[in-house]
Amino acid sequence: MPEIDTGNTAWVLVAAALVMLMTPGLGFFYGGFTRHKNVLATIMQSFIVVALVGVQWVVIGYSLTFAPSVGGGFIGNLDFFGLRDVGLAPSDVYATSIPHEAFMIFQAMFAIITPALITGAFAERAKFSTFLVFMLLWSFLVYDPVAHWVFSADGWLSAFNFPSGIDALDFAGGTAIHVNAGAASLAAALLFGRRKGYGTEAMEPSNTTYIVLGAAILWFGWFGFNAGSAGAASGQEANAFVVTNTAAAAAAVTWMLMSWIFSGKPSVIGAAAGAVAGLVAITPASGFVQPMEAIAIGVGAGIFCYLAVRLRARTSVDDSLDVVGVHGVGGTWGALATGLFAVAAVSGIAGLDGATHGRPDQLVDQLVAIGAVWGYSFVVTAIILKVLDLTLGLRVKEHEEIVGLDASQHGERAYVIEEVGTLPVLPPQPVQQAVEAAQAAIRSRSSAPVPPGAAGT
């Protein structure tokens, strides 16, 4: 067996655990944004993806992503099916100083969190059974191919063998993860349609503390996400750690200031969302840029993502938790910024520089990768969702949405409301009674006479 570096192995395993923690953290972040009747269902969507994709990755996902290419760098073959030949010895290609299994499980955490990101686009209205099928199909048909393009040694967008063909720089997944999830989220928001009452009813976040807690867990876990991505405890890893924190901090301050300027108050939610936007944007660049450039990337993320969220709010698109604005726009900006600011001194690869360091053609490679991932992910996601809508149905029934997904999909509640002051509160209705009450409300609403002149309004 080739010699294994114990320090590198220990760091990569710790980094994998940090990235795993990010997905439940995402559940809290998303759950805090939803209404109280959907908090548990929203957290469940992130939690169950850890289990669902965790199995898919071992059976076939890792092979499709990292086995040698078939189809000109489009998808991996089945050499690693069921983790065949993925053992305790290092890989000949990837992270060659640690066990192959350690590299595999680190990459598994990326495969898990990417589809979980999309759940924010259709929060509060997805049928759970169809959701499970969608997560598996999306992982198989979208994430695995795109990750192969970008991360595999012979993927058609990979800079693994720089310079050769299109060398899209993506240190930790800005294109393969965030642009990919952002494009899929746009398709999902359009195909699922708007929530009942969207635009006419208040849909305020139910738990701002969950939002801040989730953002803090994501920030903490992101050190493993970025600093673990070279597969070794090295100078490049240390730089990735520093620039990750720096960009997140700059973006949090920027978004807070933007909200202060435009709304008159420094938003707590805005600071949390800004930190996440900065983390998204620095992800592809973290192994290639220096700290001062990380500040520029963070400031750009705070501005661009804030404006994208405000712009989306003026449209009829119900991207419930603004996944497109934060991950799609943030990932796109981060991929472009990598092409601008990359410097060979960080990566240690001669000539691997961005446009500001004398290689404007790197920006062209980044644009090709961004366009390819946006187009492929959006189209294939839309096809998957349309087929599922025609066969299984994407959304819960109207009365189930009114009751909330916690009760209608899982038969449980995130909160039990007790007495408020001196006013007695009735005990929580059993789930079936709540469903029947919602159905009765719908029937009475549909049978009510239409006031004169109100038709068509």
pLDDT of 439 strictly over 80? no
CA distance 323 to 330: 10
Q: What is the pLDDT confidence band of residue 436, given thresholds at 50, 70 and 90?
A: low
Instruction: For the chain, give every domain's residue range.
Output: 6-391
SS3 breakdown of the chain: % helix, strand, coil, rounded to 5? Answer: 65, 0, 30
**What's the topology of domain 6-391?**
Ammonium transporter fold (1.10.3430)
Query: How many CB atoms are closer than 10 A to CB 22?
Result: 26
Tens-digit pLDDT profile for residues 278-295: 999 999 999 999 999 999
CA distance 165 to 158: 9
Where residue 114 falls (left for φ over 0; alpha for ψ -120 to 50; beta otherwise) is: alpha
Lowest pLDDT segment from 110-119, 158-167, 345-354, 404-413: 158-167
Mean pLDDT for 444-454 is 46
| pLDDT confidence of residue 352 | 92
Mean pLDDT for 12-28 is 98
Distance set, CA 291 to CA 6, 231, 241, 288, 335 (Å): 29, 21, 10, 10, 17
DSSP secondary structure string for all residues of 151-185: HSTT-TTB-TTSSSS--B--SSSIIIIIIHHHHHH
Tens-digit pLDDT profile for residues 167-183: 999 999 999 999 999 99
| pLDDT confidence of residue 408 | 96
| pLDDT confidence of residue 438 | 61
Tens-digit pLDDT profile for residues 346-391: 999 988 999 999 999 999 999 999 999 999 999 999 999 999 999 9
pLDDT of 298 strictly over 60? yes
Q: What is the pLDDT confidence band of residue 202, given thresholds at 50, 70 and 90?
A: confident
CA distance 376 to 175: 12
Distance set, CA 138 to CA 2, 293, 439 (Å): 36, 34, 33
- Higher-pLDDT residue of 54, 420: 54
Tens-digit pLDDT profile for residues 129-144: 999 999 999 999 999 9
CA distance 219 to 236: 19
Per-residue tokens: 329: 């726009």
Q: What is the pLDDT confidence band of residue 424, given thresholds at 50, 70 and 90?
A: very low
Looking from the CA of 423 toward its CB, the CA atoms found within 13 Å total 4
Query: How many CB atoms are closer than 10 A to CB 74?
Result: 15
